[in-house]
């Protein structure tokens, strides 16, 4: 084995009904973010920035098309070579193998063996961050424990009931884990970010034992359960983090990007974020347009007013239209004189001239993909 070399596993199985309809045909991992990115870009970028060249990913069977559409051959992340590769597996296939009493972790174990890596990192899908995995590995090597768990201290408003919390001793060792819904939250809590580093051989052995003792097929759950059974230490992440599990947290994570400090912390640290490239003309702003504190991707035409909003590719905001505190995903068409405020418009949404779509700061209206809006929508209607 080559010392310090890592391979990666990404788990993208968690589904939250609170994110519907945004996740109707896509996993959390491929939710659009900040005009031109997808959430998965941040995990992939953290992985390739750590010089990791192989990734094993697991998705639900009805969500893989969105992943392939975005990742393609993996060129943008340098994952399209002979040595640099990614593998996508279907969770339901693993469930079927377990139901048939077969060795359901064999594909994972085979990947780990063939990677010839000394270490493996696992990353979940709903924690938006830009983390230096090389720094986490260095701490893991220094602490000489079986597992290192990444966490961040957050307020109670940034925690989902299903999240795992940690008790951490002064020396960094994890003394206890608990599920958020089963404990009383404090003003600050050690939120496990579902990022783990282990020695590869130790994980292979744990998986081999696990599939013979009815362990969870969900790798995220498997790692969480493993924390309490082996010597585990912690790594405190201090950069930008958004825990995305419902429409409101997704909306706020995007709006955070209008804050220069948060924007720079996530996107302009010493680690670059890579995404799928689109060769398009720049966004056009007509003389009648009024733009304030907003971000735009390429290929859009802005003739109306846009304030405190994020606009993705190929959107058209017609004259006298007002877009405020909103997220417009790709190919939106906002008709003349229309008003869109406190809302998320998924791809290919058209709002007729003069129509109002108005939510609230805490409960934005969400229009599903391919919607055609011809009458006013207020609140959650």
End-to-end CA distance of the chain: 58
The residue assigned the tokens 């077969």 is 102
Model confidence pTM above 0.85: yes
Select from 355, 348, 353 the least CA-distant residue to 371.
348
pLDDT score, position 62? 77
pLDDT score, position 380? 54
pLDDT score, position 4? 47
Q: What are the Cα distances from residue 170, in Å, to 167, 173, 239? A: 10, 7, 21
What average pLDDT does range 103-115 have in this prediction? 93
Q: How much is the mean pLDDT over the chain?
A: 92
pLDDT score, position 244? 96
d(CA 2, CA 368): 48
CB of 7 closer than 8 Å to CB of 120: yes
pLDDT score, position 73? 81
What six digits make up the tokens of 66?
A: 């969105």
pLDDT score, position 209? 94
The residue assigned the tokens 């783990």 is 196
- List the beta bridge partners of residue 9: 56, 122
Select from 60, 55, 82, 83 the least CA-distant residue to 71.
55
pLDDT score, position 75? 83
pLDDT score, position 328? 98
Residue 36 has pLDDT above 60, yes or no: yes
CB of 315 closer than 8 Å to CB of 332: yes
Residue 43 has pLDDT above 70, yes or no: yes
SS3 10: strand
Q: Model confidence over 69-87: pLDDT tens digits?
A: 888 888 888 887 667 778 8
d(CA 348, CA 150): 38
Whether omega for the bond prior to residue 55 falls within 30 degrees of 0, making it cis, is no
d(CA 87, CA 243): 26
Lowest-confidence region among 33-37, 277-281, 319-323, 346-350: 277-281
pLDDT score, position 322? 98
**Residue 175's Cα: distance from chain center in Å?**
28
Antiparallel, parallel or unpaired: β 301-302 and 305-307: unpaired
pLDDT score, position 78? 80
Q: Identify the band that residue 3 occupies on the pLDDT scale cut at 50, 70 and 90.
A: very low
pLDDT score, position 1? 40
Percent of the chain at pLDDT exceeding 70: 98
pLDDT score, position 59? 86
352 class by beta-carbon count within 10 Å (0-12 exposed, 13-18 middle, 19+ buried): middle
pLDDT score, position 252? 97
């Amino acid at each position: 084995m080559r010392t310090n070399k890592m391979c990666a596993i990404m788990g993208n199985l968690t589904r939250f009904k609170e994110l519907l309809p945004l996740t109707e045909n896509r996993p959390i991992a491929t939710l659009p973010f900040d005009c031109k990115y997808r959430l998965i870009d941040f995990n992939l970028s953290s992985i390739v920035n750590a010089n990791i060249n192989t990734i094993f990913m697991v998705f639900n069977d009805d969500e893989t098309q969105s992943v392939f559409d975005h990742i393609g051959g993996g060129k943008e992340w340098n994952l399209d070579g002979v040595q640099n590769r990614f593998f996508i597996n279907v969770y339901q296939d693993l469930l079927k193998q377990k139901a048939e009493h077969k060795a359901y972790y064999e594909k994972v174990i085979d990947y780990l063996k063939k990677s010839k890596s000394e270490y493996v990192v696992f990353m979940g899908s709903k924690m938006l961050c830009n983390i230096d995995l090389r720094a986490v590995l260095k701490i893991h090597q220094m602490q000489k424990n079986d597992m290192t768990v990444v966490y961040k201290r957050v307020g109670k408003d940034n925690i989902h009931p299903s999240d795992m919390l940690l008790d951490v001793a002064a020396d960094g060792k994890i003394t206890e884990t608990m599920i958020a819904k089963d404990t009383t939250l404090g003003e600050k809590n050690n939120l496990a970010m579902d990022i783990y580093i282990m020695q590869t051989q130790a994980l292979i052995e744990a998986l081999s034992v696990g599939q013979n003792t009815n362990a969870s097929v969900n790798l995220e759950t498997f790692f969480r359960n493993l924390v309490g059974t082996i010597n585990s230490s912690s790594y405190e992440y201090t950069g930008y983090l958004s825990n995305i599990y419902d429409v409101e947290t997704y909306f706020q994570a995007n709006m955070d990007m209008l804050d220069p400090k948060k924007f720079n912390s996530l996107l302009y640290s010493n680690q670059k974020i890579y995404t799928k490239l689109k060769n398009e003309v720049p966004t056009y702003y007509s003389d009648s347009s009024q733009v304030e504190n907003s971000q735009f991707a390429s290929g859009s035409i802005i003739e109306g007013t846009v304030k405190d909003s994020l606009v993705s590719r190929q959107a058209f905001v017609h004259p006298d239209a007002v877009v405020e505190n909103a997220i417009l995903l790709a190919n939106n068409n906002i008709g003349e004189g229309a008003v869109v405020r406190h809302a998320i418009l998924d791809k290919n949404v058209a709002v007729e001239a003069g129509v109002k779509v108005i939510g609230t700061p805490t409960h934005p209206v969400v229009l599903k993909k391919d919607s055609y809006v011809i009458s006013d929508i207020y609140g959650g209607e």
